[in-house]
Amino acid sequence: MQEIKRLENEAALLDLVLGLFRQLIDQEVVQGVQAVEKLQTEGLQAVFEDQDLHVKSQVEIQRGKVSVDLLTVQKYPNGMEIEGISGDSFGGAVATVQSILLRLIILLRRGLRPLLLLDESLPAFDSNYVVNMGRFLSTLCRRLKVDILLVTHNPALVEAADKAYKIVRKDGAARFEKLR
C-alpha cells in the first residue's frame, strides 16, 4: 500500500514536470514565431516601402505537434486587407524576400557558417523594388554579420554590393575580374 502511494505521488510529480516542460516549450515557440514575424515584416516593409505589408502567424497543435503557418497581410488605405500564403497571394518577389529571411534564420539559429548563396534568386522583382532589395541585402549583411554571395545580371544589385566581380572568358577559360 505504501509503494502504491509512493508511485502515485511520483506519477503526479511527473505530470507536473510534463506540464512545466510543455509550458516552457510553448513559450519558446511563441517567442521564436514572434521573432520570425518581426524580421519578415521588417524585410517586407524595407523592400516594398510603398505597400503596407506585414506577416502574422497562426500557431496550432495538430496531432500533438506544433504547426505554424506564416501569413502575409496587405492592408490598403481604404481599410481592406488581403491575407494569404505569400507565394499564392502575393507573387514571387514577396515570397523571395520571405524565403531569404527564413534561410538566414535557420543559418543563424543552428550556428552554421553565416553564408547565403543566391544564384539568380531575384528575377521576380519589379524594377521599382530592385534597389530597395539591394539595400536590404546589404543591411542584412551588416546587421547580422552574414556574407551573401549573389549571382546576378542586374546592375542595381551589383551597385548595392560591397564587393563585385564579373566573370570574363578569355582563351577558353573563365576568370574573375573585380569591378570594385
| Domain extents in the chain | 2-178
Q: Which amino acid is at 45?
A: Q
| In the predicted structure, residue 128 carries a pLDDT above the cut 80 | yes
Superfamily for the 2-178 domain:
P-loop containing nucleotide triphosphate hydrolases (3.40.50.300)
In the predicted model, what is the mean pLDDT of residues 66-82?
Answer: 90
| CA gap 76, 61 in Å, rounded | 32
Task: Provide the percentage of residues in the chain whose pLDDT is more than 70.
Answer: 99
Q: pLDDT at position 1, please?
A: 84
For 167, how many CA atoms within 13 A lie in the half-sphere containing its CB? 7
Query: Which of 24-28, 70-74, 147-151 is predicted with the least confidence, judged by mean pLDDT?
Result: 24-28
Mean pLDDT over residues 122-128, rounded?
Answer: 80
- pLDDT for position 53: 94
H/E stretch holding 132: helix 127-144
161-178 average pLDDT score: 90
pTM: 0.76
Burial 141-179 (b: 16+ CB within 10 A, else e): beebebebebebebebbbebbeebeeeeeeeeeeeeeee
Distance CA 168, CA 123 (A): 22
Please compute the mean of the pLDDT values over residues 62-73 and round it to a whole number.
83
